[in-house]
Amino acid sequence: MPALLKQVRLLLMPTEYLVDTVSRNDLVSSSPACMNMVTTAIQMLNESNMERPLTQTRLPSEVLLAVGGWVSHFPSDKIELYNVRADHWVPLSWRHNASLGFYGCAYLNGCIYCIGGFDFISYSSHVRRFSLTSQTWTEVGSMHEERGFLSVATLNGCIYAMGGCQKQKKLKTAERYEPDTNQWTMIASMHKPRTEAGAATLHGKVYICGGLTGDEPLSCAESYNPDTNQWTLITPMETGRTGGAVVAYNDEIYVVGGFNGITQLRSVIAYDPRTRHWRCSHVTPSQKLRHCSAGGPAVCGWRFPQWRLILQCGVL
């Protein structure tokens, strides 16, 4: 019985239930070891202001994260976790900088990185890391440049921050963060300055698509090879897009939704690096999808070939 009771998360039970039900169970009350566990749990629950790691929600093996976005015309300071198997959303309690928006977001090694951003007064070079395990925030190494509306991707254990803007200047510079050294390193600049572009990685390269340089959305896209430290322009998209989600799936780069300068797009296009061609893929169930890939300031989930909309948030 003690071995079995050890597998029960007693600290998640109400104190009243432990006292009135668990401790009065015949099998529990007849075992000194079991009673000791129950008594200890009751004492811990009765202690006020006590940090209890065992009471934190267990994270499932597969989750979807919704980070930031907007609420009532202001940046949101919330993060929510979607349990894919249970089809259930879990709010995670945090508040790193409620006034900061337009930052890049990346997931790496069990942590969420919120990179740069804009608070309507100034742009930021700061980087904040949220551990899903301990559910705590840590300030890590700052970027070399202040960036808002930037694009972010992860590759080979590193984080790439690309483009964005500072003040009235749109950037084509890029830099790479290595968690082991907690340092950012400038890499080769892109061919085009761009903000609000989408980025993803595939087969050892970083791809960045669309965005804004002036007033018109860009149709151009490019890839970065970390081995040669070079950016290469790839076949442009048929239509310019800004704010589209970019993800790698089945050996292709998908661009989902976005804004073409006139209307929100429902179309999905896919780029095959082997043929260097774009093709029309699917149509999303909503036109209000902007910045909705995993790693952006909002998250949208789907299943190919049929779409399953999980969440819409962000700048709509």
pLDDT for position 47:
64
Residue 284 makes CB contacts below 8 A (sequence gap 6+) with 256, 257, 266, 267, 268, 302, 307, 309
pLDDT for position 301:
38
Residue 80 makes CB contacts below 8 A (sequence gap 6+) with 65, 66, 89, 90, 91, 92
pTM of the model: 0.75
Report the distance separating Cα 175 and Cα 170, nearest Å: 15
Residue ranges in the chain modelled with pLDDT below 70: 47-62, 93-98, 283-316
Write the DSSP assignment of 67-130 as a string of letters. E--EETTEE---EEEEETTTTEEEEEP--S-TT-BS-EEEEETTEEEEEEEE-SS-EEEEEEEE
Q: Give the SS3 label for residue 174.
A: strand
Describe the chain by its helix, strand, coil percentages, rounded to 5: 10, 40, 50
> What are the extents of the domains in the chain?
2-55, 63-283
Rg of the chain in Å (alpha carbons): 23
Give CA separation, 175 vs 28, 37, 78, 117, 217, in Å: 59, 51, 27, 15, 23
pLDDT for position 48:
45
- Tell me if the domain spanning 63-283 has CATH number 3.40.1280.30: no
Site of tokens 């928006």: 101
Residue 181 makes CB contacts below 8 A (sequence gap 6+) with none
pLDDT for position 177:
99
φ/ψ of residue 276, rounded to 5:
60, 35
